[in-house]
Chains A and B, each alone.
Chain A
Amino acid sequence: MISFPTRRDFLVRSGISLAASNFLVGLPSFASASASTSPKKRIVFVFSPNGVIPDHFWPDPADEAMSLKRILQPLESVKSKLLTIHGMCNQIQGDGDGHMRGIGCLLTGIELFPGDIQGGSDTPAGWSMGISLDQYLRNQMQAAPETQTRFGSLEFGVMVPERADTWTRMSYAGANQPVAPIDNPYQMFDKLYGQTKNRELLASVLDGLGDEFRKAEQLISADDRRILQDHLQMVRQIEQELQREMSQKPKDLGHAIPELPPNIEEQNDNMPQLTRMQMDLMVSSFASDFARVASFQITNSVGGAKMRWLGIDEGHHELSHEPDSNESAYENLIKINTWYCEQVAYLANRLAATPEPDGNGSMLDNTTIVWTNELGKGNSHTRDNIPFVLVGGGLGFKTGRAVDYKRVPHNRLLMTLAAAIGYPQDSFGNPDFCGDGVLTGLS
């Protein structure tokens, strides 16, 4: 059987012009052929907190070789798919401190409601007034059969505090509707595979149950045996169904269910393992096409991870307030951000190593990771030049380079991402920051 790598290849080889192809979509055979060959577009928003050390982060846009500085070094292996976007400024004003607006307006591009959460020296605030980009894209995709998936989007977290407040929520389903990330990998596993896993569990215990029913039968009169026999018959019937189901399962899921290491508690020191587990689950969920949008929130805005595994005992947020002149803090912040970058690189490499189930290259070819942060720099609390590091393909951006927009509202990048996935908007978030439209020069 001939396979066509892309819809365009198919059209070219079928001798159909692009214009004519639009009329063919209604024909079942053509429609399905084009649907199965058009590559999926996925997007993942990875969040790490407290700003970066800009001098060791941003590559020089003028450097055609795109030499990576210390923090981004771990992305060397996927540099051809790397795009750093400097000059994005979160200019949303209103209630809430810098960290709150930093995370709460990051993907929503709109103000926070007035509320009672007081942070720093600014006015108190509540939740965001609008939907976040990930949830917006999810809704768009779920609205059309060809982009619909089981979950639409998945919200991963790592060591997000057990506290629902403005600093711990990045994703919003709408105004005043924060979406809680799932930061327990076992809980995420249950969400993804719980049903299947439960069916497996059931299958694994049913055989033994039959013996128990037979033992019980011996204890009772012939009249009463009837109900147990009916019950046993039911058990047998379900067992057979499950056996059939289990034998078909790998095909349905597209891959085997991932195995998680057992008994990993949600504790600071387990952060590296928890991050791996969550990222492995994300890759598996993409391979099964459970979702095409994901967020991955490591700790929270003002997150205070203590990276003892790097020999750093102070909390991240505390360190991030230190002046640049504090050399040890400065060095530690570089190390901390490098560790975050390693996690992004791990995810990118896992995606690069996983072929698309439909044969369209690797999963990284069709997935864009957007690594971001609530601040540009920790000790100044600036929301100018907040990190936007894109890794992957599928959105038509020219990668392997660093770009600098100098100073534009980050709403325009949100609009650009929406349009690149196929859902252009006249504005995203507060329209006052969208007047100049999508960013040009990325493609």
Chain B
Amino acid sequence: MNSRFALTNSLFAACLALMGPFCVATESQTDSGAKVNPRLEGELIYKRQCADCHGAAGEGVNGAYERSLVGDSSIGELTKLISETMPEGEPEACTAEDAQAVADYIHYAFYSPAAQVRNRPPKVVLTHLTSDQLRQSLSDLYAHFSEIAAVSETRGLHGLYFDGERWKEDKKKIERDDATINFDFGHDGPGDGINGKQFYIYWEGGLEIQETGRYQIIVESSCSFNLKLGHAERMLIDNHVQSGDKTVFNEPVELTGGRVYPIRLELRQRERKTEQPPAKIVLRWIPPGGVETVIPARNLRSGWAPNAYSLQTHLPPDDRSYGYDRGISINRQWDDAVTAAALEFAQITVSEIWPTYQRQHRKDKTDNRTKLRDFLVELIEVAFRGKLDDEQKSAYVDQFLMTTDDDSEAIKRVVLVALKSPWFLYPSLGELQNASATAANRLALVMYDSLPSDDWLLHRVGKGQLANEAQIRETATRMLTDYRARYKIRTMLHAWLNLQHLTDIRKDESQFNGFEPELVADLKASLNAALDDVVWSDGSDYRKFFTRDWVYTNNRIAAFYGDCYKRADELATTDLSPSVGDPEHRFGIMTHPFLMSGLAYHDSTSPIHRGVFLTRYVFGRTLRPPNEAFTPFSPDLHPDLTTRDRVSLQTGAEACQACHSRINGLGFILENYDAVGRFREQEKAKPINAAGTYVSADGETIELEGPHSLASYLIDSDDARRAFVNRAFQHFVKQPIEAFGVDASQRLMQKFVESQFNIQTLIVEIAVISATNPSILEGQGT
């Protein structure tokens, strides 16, 4: 299957029809009718002429029109559509005022988003931990007995270089931060005062993980070395013996996003009578879905990092039917994965957490069993997000301690039963015990997808210091400065831009020579850096997403994309640094080459991909799957047509145009960016036509031309702001925003506007809304 065909199917399956059964014309005009009660009139007409096929409440009829009538078109758009196309086969039977009355009625009764809210008031539902939440919760349960890495701006690993083959303080010759580990010392050794025949280097630091998944850690070295990751005793690669010509060592490991794993690398060049290979060491990795590269400085944190845990058990994906992960599905696969995760964690509790606790409490004058009981109670209280009563202590701890003298066995049982318990798996169940504990639980879920485990936070819970909105807001603000929150914000931005679907980007070699996987990895890193930078720079201003005239770049990006991608500071040596400005051709992330090349075919642009992306993700408009798939025309069949003309030709039929005038209208605006995101003035010797339109949710038609006008419009677009705010809420809270009050979305929008579109403020306010919402347990049961 060629890549064009593959793209085609996914594209058309995803985006063809705009508004359910209707093919809606682009212009809309609502003209209030003259009828006294048009809605009532509309109801009568609907029942007479429409309900047979669409169902009494628009729910659909098997064998006729099966989809329910829901969408976000305006009454005017609906009127036009009904007038022109309905009832099927005799559209003249319902026109003008009648059509408008029907539109008015269905819009109010069931079609519009507002009607859906009215009809089925969304509520917060009981959910279990999602896979991410389970993974993060276990990491924090571990961290409770260790520590959480503080956010640090140091980059690279801290290196200590010794003359001689072991650590000897008086033989330490070099101490410095190394941005990356990529050295070829040859026979001369690493520096002055160090005998190249016999030396020892110790590198220490943290490995910051920005994407959860399976990593291949690769060390290439001609010397004896060992690599520890996650814990001082957790050996990942042990090459104590340099043997023969084996120099490349590779180990897979699952790592969790938002975590910093301590990493220790020791290299030893041993003197010997025989020929000594030149000393070399390179620390590389293959991140999930990425390419092999030297681990970049941006992922390395120099200096000491606390021990950290990463679940190795594979967890199944969660339900995403609402567009965000929710823990609502109970099935065997999930349950088995939870069991496997609990057993894995039980093992790490035996081998690492309990020994750590014993060391921390070695001066306590209690006997081993009392200590073990205290340890297990503390562990479960963190897992259950609240204090245990005596009955629970007996059920979860004492009975297992009594039945076995084997500490490991007792720990395993207690951990297994605790992590399989509903009190751990369903975070809401612990609420009502105490208001501050509930608020902390919600905050940890929202900010970290985890449970409260940090000492300072638990201290506040203990003191009842999360009892009012101001305290909660202050706490949420403090929680922002944390790798876990940074990770969650970045995953939210990825969801906003639908980046998880932009994988395996490849281009036609004859046209785009040099567009290699390594370049794509750089572009992805450049986009991530831009996203982080906007969130964490002064003002945390959402509008900067659309206005920046520079990008993060490096030499490889500049070599491919040309002068406008040169580093602003030509002497910069970091893996990525700001480029020169290009106010004519560059407008923030919407024109970023990673996005532009991802939203394109291998040999040409795809205005349809770009249009659908803008419509659905950036403006947050509803798009439904099409009724059938189409194959786009091949450029070869129309060698003289520009992409715009070709797409227009294919989608020119009236049936297509109704939707595609909107999709294409947005996609064409970005036609200045070719299939790899390079700015172009012409295509096939014809000037680029980047004119287009957008019809807003409230029916206004906006004429746009070129990326500059799009960027200017996005800054002020209510639709785009609302899409961003709603996406953020869904991602952080994982419940429908309407469940937090009919005006929750509006209030949040207002706060966003008042804060000058401050993203950090938005997230804190989302956390506050979540943490102050009544419990689902209130008024229930006992």
Which A residues fall within an 8 A CB radius of B? 95, 112-118, 123-127, 129, 163-166, 175-176, 186, 190, 198, 201-202, 204-206, 208-209, 212-213, 216-221, 223-224, 227-228, 230-231, 234-235, 238, 262-263
Contact digits for B417-447, partner A, Cβ 8 Å, 1 yes 0 no: 1001111001001001000000000000000
Q: Which of B57-65, B146-154, B327-335, B669-677 contacts A (4 or more CB under 8 A)?
A: B327-335
Residues of A within 8 A of B126 (CB): 220, 224, 227-228
Is B273's CB under 8 angstroms from A124's CB?
Answer: yes
- Chain B residues with Cβ below 8 Å from A190 are 347
Residue of B nearest to A234 (CB): B335
Q: Given A123-B272, A227-B126, A262-B405, are A201 and B780 also a contact pair (CB < 8 Å)?
A: no
Q: How far is the CB of B276 from chain A (nearest CB, A)?
A: 8
Question: What B residues does A112 contact at CB under 8 A?
Answer: 243
Contact B429 A219 (CB under 8 A): yes
How far, in whole Å, are A220 and B780 apart by their CA atoms in the complex? 5
In the complex, B228 has a CB within 8 A of chain A: no
Given contacts A126-B241, A164-B240, A231-B330, contact A262 B406 (CB under 8 A): yes
Residue in A175, A220, A238 whose beta carbon sits within 8 Å of that of B335 in the complex: A238
Q: How far is the CB of A166 from chain B (nearest CB, A)?
A: 6
A216 and B426 contact, Cβ closer than 8 Å, known pairs A113-B243, A205-B417, A234-B330:
yes
Report B755-782 CB contacts with A as 1/0, cut-off 8 Å: 0000000000000000000001100111
B183 nearest CB across to chain A (Å): 17
- Contact partner, A216, options B274, B420, B423, B432, Cβ 8 Å: B423
Check if A164 sits within 8 Å of B241, measured CB to CB.
yes
Contact present for B416 and A116 (CB under 8 Å): no
**Is the CB–CB distance between B274 and A95 below 8 Å?**
yes
Do B777 and A176 touch (CB < 8 A)? no
A227 CA to B335 CA, complexed, in Å: 13
Chain A residues with CB under 8 Å of B416's CB are 201-202, 205
Contact (Cβ within 8 A) A231 B422? yes
CA distance A175 to B777 in the complex (A): 63
How far is B505's CA from A332's CA once the two chains are assembled, in angstroms? 71
Which residue in B269, B347, B422 is a CB contact (below 8 Å) of A212?
A: B422
**Chain B residue total in the interface (Cβ 8 A):** 54
> Residue on A with the closest CB to B405?
A262
4 new A-B contacts, CB < 8 A, other than A112-B243, A116-B269, are A116-B241, A219-B781, A262-B406, A263-B405
Interface string of B273-310 (1 = CB under 8 A from A): 11110000000000000000000000000000000000
CA distance A115 to B269 in the complex (A): 11
> How far is B268's CA from A165's CA once the two chains are assembled, in angstroms?
14
Could you tell me the distance between the alpha carbons of A385 and B432 in the complex, rounded to whole angstroms?
A: 77
Residues of A within 8 A of B412 (CB): 201
- Near A by CB (< 8 A), chain B positions 227-285 give 238, 240-244, 246, 268-276
* CA of A127 to CA of B330, assembled, Å: 50
A238–B340 alpha-carbon span in the complex (Å): 14
B725-782 interface (Cβ within 8 A of A): 776-777, 780-782
A94 to B271, CA, bound (A): 18
Complex Cα–Cα for A165 and B223 (A): 14
List the B residue with the shortest CB-CB distance to A209.
B420
Contact A262 B244 (CB under 8 A): no
B235 to chain A, nearest CB (A): 9
| B781 A218 Cβ-Cβ under 8 A | yes
Docked pose: A114 CA to B246 CA in angstroms: 11
| Residue of B123, B269, B347, B420 ringed by the most chain A CB atoms within 10 A | B420
Which chain B residues lie closer than 8 Å to A238 at the CB level?
A: 335
Whether A212 pairs with B777 at a CB distance below 8 angstroms is no
**From B332, which residue of chain A is reached at the shortest CB distance?**
A234
Contacts of B406 in A (CB 8 A): 262-263
B273→A227 contact, CB < 8 A: no
Q: In chain B between 373 and 424, which residues have their CB closer than 8 angstroms to a CB of chain A? A: 395, 404-409, 412-413, 416-417, 420-423
Q: Taking CB as reference atom, which chain A residue is nearest B273?
A: A123
CA distance A219 to B127 in the complex (A): 14
Q: State how many angstroms separate the Cβ of B704 from the closest Cβ of chain A.
A: 45
Min C-beta distance of B769 to chain A, whole Å? 20
CB of B343 closer than 8 Å to a CB of A: yes
Q: When the two chains form their complex, are residues A123 and B274 in contact, meaning their CB atoms are under 8 A apart?
A: yes
The 19 listed contacts between A and B (C-beta, < 8 Å) are A95-B274, A114-B244, A116-B242, A116-B269, A116-B270, A117-B240, A124-B270, A165-B240, A198-B343, A201-B416, A205-B416, A212-B395, A219-B429, A219-B777, A220-B776, A227-B127, A228-B422, A228-B426, A234-B331
Which residues does chain B contribute within 8 Å of A186, judged by CB atoms? 408
Residues of B within 8 A of A212 (CB): 395, 421-423
Contact B328 A227 (CB under 8 A): yes
Q: A186-B408, A262-B409 are contacts. A115–B782 as well, Cβ < 8 Å?
A: no
- Asked if B125 and A223 sit within 8 Å, CB to CB, the answer is yes
The answer, among A176, A201, A205, A213, for a CB contact under 8 Å with B243, is: A176
CA distance A116 to B423 in the complex (A): 54
A118 CA to B407 CA, complexed, in Å: 41
How far is the CB of B411 from the nearest CB of chain A, in Å?
11
In contact, A208 and B777 (Cβ under 8 angstroms)? no
Distance A235 CA – B335 CA, assembled complex (angstroms): 9
Query: Is the Cβ of B417 less than 8 Å from the Cβ of A219?
Result: no
Cα-based distance from A221 to B343 in the complex (angstroms): 32
A190 to B413 CA separation, bound complex (whole angstroms): 15
Closest residue of B by beta carbon distance from A213: B422
CB contacts (< 8 Å) of B331 on chain A: these are 234
In the complex, chain B residues whose CB is within 8 Å of the CB of A219: 429, 432, 777, 780-782
- B471 interfacial by beta-carbon distance below 8 Å: no
* Contacting residues, chain B, for A117 (C-beta < 8 A): 224, 240-243, 270
Q: Is B54 an interface residue (CB 8 A)?
A: no
For A232, give the chain B residue with the smallest CB separation. B422
Chain A residues contacting B426 (CB-CB under 8 Å) are: 216, 228
